[in-house]
Structure 1
Amino acid sequence: MKKNNKIKKSVSVLAFLFVCAVSVILSSCSDELDIQQSYPFKVETMPVPKDIVRGQTVEIRCELKA
Structure 2
Amino acid sequence: MKTSKAQLKANKKYKDNNPGKQQLYVARSTAKRFIKELASLKDLDDLTQLIEDKRRQLKEGGQR
TM-score tier by shorter-chain length is: 0.3 to 0.5
Q: State the TM-score, normalized to the length of structure 1.
A: 0.33
Say which structure is richer in helix: 2
Q: State the TM-score, normalized to the length of structure 2.
A: 0.34
Say which structure is richer in strand: 1
| Structure possessing the higher relative contact order (Cα contacts under 8 Å, 6 or more residues apart) | 1
